Amino acid sequence: MPTTHDTDAEPPISPDRLDELLRSLSIEEKAALTSGVDGWHASGAPSLGLAPMHTSDGPNGVRGMTFPSGSSATCTPCGTAFGATWDVDLVAELGGLIGAEAKRSGVAFMLGPVLNLVRSPLGGRDFESYSEDPILTARLGAAYVGGMQAQGVAATPKHFVANDAEAHRTTVDCVVDERTLREVYLVPFEAVAEAGVWSMMSAYNRVNGVYCSDHLHLVHDVMRGEWAWDGVLMSDWFATHDTVAGALAGLDLEMP
């Protein structure tokens, strides 16, 4: 995958300093960081001066709670319109625009882009997805991530994985063989992992009988193991089912 728009900026603090700060937290403070505090915020750490972290959705620009006085958000084209451009540089530019507006509004995590594939014209959220093609989706997704994170706002590609149907989306069991997972559904998520995305979102649905937030094979073995991705994996809203299974798989943050 192209890396033109990858974000390799130096972190604001060193890993050693980060470890020191984490060790200073109590067990209760560490536990609080694993769950949201309301519909739009992940928990902060007051003893470190870390405020609750604002998340915002945005299938066509920034939306969510409120904007600072006098500001607004651009209604950008939806994901399918992005996909129709086939233009990596333009999508990176638009990702940067959305990231800048999110930053201005105090957003820490933008909940996108949607990397699920358009598998049926009846899909209720098809407009949020780029296309039916995994390679096109992968390249545009990586470009969007790079553009947004260059503004200091975490992109959160979603929904990992095979969340391509709206009907019964919170309970449906998507039965997918390993080859199809590897060659189709996982391709866009692997691309953004390689591009250095800071966060991703697990899906509502089950894959081969296991809820995605609890999926030991897909999260622990593939995402954390094979891809060596160490970003923040958050659940979709109310999509966790087993705290132990989620923790063992590698889920970091239960929302909301």
80 neighbors 127 (Cβ within 8 angstroms): yes
Helices within the chain (DSSP H only): 15-23, 27-32, 79-85, 88-104, 134-149, 178-180, 187-194, 243-249
CA distance 167 to 229: 30
Q: Could you give the CA distance from residue 42 to residue 31 in angstroms, rounded to a whole number?
A: 12
Long-range contacts at 66-69 (CB < 8 A, ≥ 24 apart)? 67/105, 68/104, 68/105, 68/106
Task: Choose the catalytic residue: 173, 236, 242, 252.
Answer: 236
- Dihedral over Cα of 47, 112, 150, 133: its sign: positive
Determine contact, residues 113/155, Cβ cutoff 8 Å.
yes
164 included as an active-site residue: no
Query: Rounded to whole angstroms, how far apart are CA atoms 112 and 159?
Result: 9
DSSP structure class, residue 65: S
Residue 194: HSE in the Cβ half-sphere, 13 Å Cα cutoff: 16
Q: What residues act catalytically?
A: 236
